[in-house]
Structure formats: C-alpha cells, structure tokens
Amino acid sequence: MTFMLDDFLKNTNTLAIFGHVRPDGDCVGSTLALYNYILDNFPNIEVQVYLEKFPESYNILNGADKALPLFESTDGSEPFDAAVLMDTPSFERVGAGGVACLQSAKKTCNIDHHISNPKNLCNLNIVEPSASSASQVLFEQLDPSKISKRTAECLYLGIVHDTGAFKFSNTGKRTMEIVGTLIDKGIDFARIVNETYYTRTYKQTLVTGFVLQNCKLALEGRVVHAYVTPEKMKEFDVTPVDLSNVIDTLREVSGTEVAVFLYPVNGKYKISLRSNYVVDVNAIAKEFGGGGHTRAAGGDTDLSPEEAIQKILELIKKQL
C-alpha cells in the first residue's frame, strides 16, 4: 500500500510541524504523533514541532517538552525542506508564527479534517471532513506496522479529545477500529483519557463553576450561553488555555441543542460553539470569520459579549 505521506517525506532532511492557534488535544496529539513517527522511522530527518502554549496535562506525550512556542527565522538561515500543517483549515489559524515557515519551505503538506478547509493551503492537501479528527486522518497516512507505542499514545489522545471521549457524532466505525489498533500497541489508554480529558486544575474548576453558575438559557431552553470577562479572567488567574474545555462542560446542560461560550483572547472575544443534532454551528462561525465542523466551531469578535450572543442567537433561531 502506498502512503502519500511516505512519498512526501522522501528526499527530506529538515522538517517543521505546525498546528493551529490555541492548540487543543487533536492539534497537539496529531503534531506530536507525526513527530514521533518520523523519529522512529526516518532518523535522517531533522524534525522540529512548533506549538503555542497547551495544557500541561498533554506533557504525558513524548516530545511535548521539545515543542517550541514560536518559529523565528534568522537572516541567512536555510528554509526547511518541508513543513507540515496539522489540524488547521486556514492560514489565519496557523499558530506559532508558522505562516512564514510554510511560505519559505521547499514543499508543504496540510493534514486536516475541517469542513471549512479549502484544500489548497499546501502543495499536498490531505483533508478528510468525514474523519473524527486530524489524528484519524494522519493515522490513515501512516504504516500501521511502523506506529510505535509513543506515536499511538499521541494519536489516541487526539482522537479522544476531538470525539469528546467517543460521545460526539463524528465518532464512526472506522474511528473505533483505529482506536482498537492503537490500544493493541500497549498504550495506557485509561490514563490518557483520565489525565487529559476528565481532569482539570483547581483554578479551572473554580472558573468552570463560575461559568455554570452564571450561564443562561435562551430560545425556549434550547440554547445555553455564557461568557467570561477580562476582569474575571484576572480574578480567577486563568489564561485562555485554561478555558478551552469549558464549552464541553457547558454543552452538558440537558435539553439544549446549542452551547455558546465567549472569553477574551488578544483583545477580542473568542467564540466557542457546540451543537448536538440540528444546528450547523460551522455556518454560524463563518459569520464571525471562523469555521470548524458542523457540530463544533469557533470564531472571534470585536463585539461586546452581550451583542455577540444576541447576534448568535438570531442566527441559531433561523436554523431552529
């Protein structure tokens, strides 16, 4: 069987790997999975991962401590032979200053699963919107016999986080077949899912409690929404990274179809959207210059949180 990624890696001596801004589990899992796969099977390739700050619990993965937070080119430095962009559907979403590297690299590859991906960001674009995660897309491009335990751990974490521990609708038969293969590699799957998905720090617990206490229902109880201000962020001593999983707790409110959560990032408000069965939140996110998936998407806004939520509710109402 021919794997496009193996062909892409031929005649490559230096390679850089990037993910999206504010990396989540799938982003970190897929980038580090590729990193470990290359370490294991392509010893001639000098590989570097670039990732913005991510939850400390992900340090359970091999290579997490080797990731650099920012790509910095210097005058006279040779461009990378290749650059791979993981789990990222647009150049606006590239993290760690990776756009400059992608533009200078001799060849590039985009591995993704976002429905909003135009499939033309790189020389080689491997985009499967029907896949549960970028980690699943990556798995299909790797030789299963060459996947080590440490690579399998990364892939498993990525799949766990983008499927909501296998409870989201993007979990399919193929997803579970892949998970079975990864478990057969001897990974401690219980530890990975517990320590990175089902646990949170004390500060995260406090701010999540605040969000749940102050959330509101709208559209006859079919939407739950909440936001956190910069002042509250300071009060709870949390960063945007600490708030990345709050939306998934908010969506657990029974009887709701859509969960909406806003929090400040770089002078704007980050919009996180989740739906269960009916609403296409990707279409709503596009109204804010964002995107993602049918049931999970996000964007940014300069509006106040109250104004943004009102606009979002109007868009949701049209679909309901």
Containing H/E element for 83?
strand 82-86
Residue type, 128: E
- The answer to whether the beta carbons of residues 184 and 278 sit under 8 Å apart is no
Residue 161 to residues 92, 134, 209, Cα–Cα distance (Å): 23, 11, 21
- The answer to whether the beta carbons of residues 4 and 124 sit under 8 Å apart is yes
Torsions phi, psi for 299 (to 5 deg): -160, -170
pLDDT band at 73 (very low <50, low <70, confident <90, very high): confident
- The answer to whether the beta carbons of residues 142 and 18 sit under 8 Å apart is no
CA 50 to chain CA centroid, nearest Å: 14
Note the pLDDT tens digit of each residue in 258-294.
999 999 999 999 999 999 999 999 999 999 999 888 9
The pLDDT of residue 77 is 77
pLDDT band at 107 (very low <50, low <70, confident <90, very high): very high
The pLDDT of residue 179 is 98
Note the pLDDT tens digit of each residue in 1-47.
556 788 899 999 999 999 999 999 999 999 999 999 999 999 999 99
Helices 149-162 and 25-41, packing angle to 10 deg:
160
The pLDDT of residue 6 is 83
Note the pLDDT tens digit of each residue in 109-131.
999 999 989 999 999 999 999 99
Containing H/E element for 46?
strand 46-50
Bridge partners (DSSP) listed for residue 125: 110
Ramachandran bin of 84, using left for φ above 0, alpha for ψ from -120 to 50, beta for the remaining angles: beta
Distance, in Å, from the CA atom of 320 to the CA atom of 318, rounded to the nearest integer, reads 6
